[in-house]
Amino acid sequence: MKKIQISPSILSADFSQLGNEIKRLEEGGADLIHVDVMDGHFVPNLTIGPPVIKALKKNCSIKFDVHLMISPVHKYIDAYADAGADIITFHPEATDDLSASIKKIKDLGKKVGVSLNPETKVSVIKDYLDQIDLILVMSVNPGFGGQKFMPEVLEKIKELRNIQKEKNVDFDIEIDGGINFENSKIAIEAGANILVSGTTIFKSNNGDIKKNIDLLKSK
C-alpha cells in the first residue's frame, strides 16, 4: 500500500489570506496543495486562473495538484504548466482527444491526472492507464465545495485497485468530495492513497490544520 497523502483544497481557504493559508498548510504537514480551477462553463462555478497559481507557487515548497474543471481543456494546459502546476488533472469529457492531452502534459514535464466524475466509468480511461500518473475519483459532482460524500464511488476505487494488480500498472488514486474524518477511513480501505479535503482541514478542531491532516491520515 502506498503512503497516504493529504492534498488540502484551497477552495476552502480564506481567499483574502491565500499566501498565509498556504504557509499554514506547509507547516501543518500537507503533502500537496489541491487547486480547483473552474470556468463557469464545464462546471457551474468560477475560481482562480494561472496568475494566482503562479503567485502562490513562488513561495511554496509543496507540489501543486491542479484540477482543471475547464473545457476545452487542451488549449489551456500550457498556461497552467507555466504557472507552476506539478500535477495537471483534467476530465475526459473536457477534451476532444484524450491521448493528445495526456501527451501534451507529459511533454511539458508534468504529471498527468485524469478525473472521473461520479457517473464516469473506468472503461473511458482503461486503455491509457499506463500513461496516467494519477486518477482522481470525484465523490461529489464537481463545481462547489461542501457537498455530501457519495459512498457509491468507492466501488470505482476498488475496481481501479484490482486493475493495478491485474495489469501491474502504477498510478495514484485520489478521492475528492466531502472527505471527512469518518469517510476518509473507508476511502483508504477501498484503495485511495491521496485524499483531497477542504472544509474538514480548514474548519475542524478550531482550524488546527496539523491535527486535521494527521486525523485524516489515520486508519
Active-site annotation holder among 130, 133, 176, 208:
176
Sheet holding 63-69, edge to edge: 5-8, 194-197, 172-176, 134-138, 111-116, 87-90, 63-69, 32-38
> H/E element holding 171?
none
Residue 70's contacts (CB-CB under 8 Å, 6 or more residues apart) are 37, 38, 39, 41, 42, 76, 90, 94
pLDDT digit string (tens) for 62-79? Answer: 999 999 999 999 999 999
Active-site annotation holder among 36, 39, 133, 172:
36
Task: Quickly state the pLDDT bin for 144 (edges 50, 70, 90).
Answer: low
Percent over 70 (pLDDT), the chain: 98
pLDDT, mean over the chain: 95
Question: Is the confidence at residue 205, as pLDDT, over 90?
Answer: yes
Q: Where exactly are the structural domains of the chain?
A: 5-217
Classified by CATH at the fold level, domain 5-217 comes out as TIM Barrel (3.20.20)
Question: For 174-178, what is the mean pLDDT?
Answer: 96
DSSP assignment, residue 65?
A: E
Question: Is the confidence at residue 46, as pLDDT, over 90?
Answer: no
Has 176 been annotated as catalytic? yes
Lowest mean pLDDT among 109-118, 134-143, 186-195: 134-143
Neighbouring CB atoms inside 10 A of 163's CB total 16
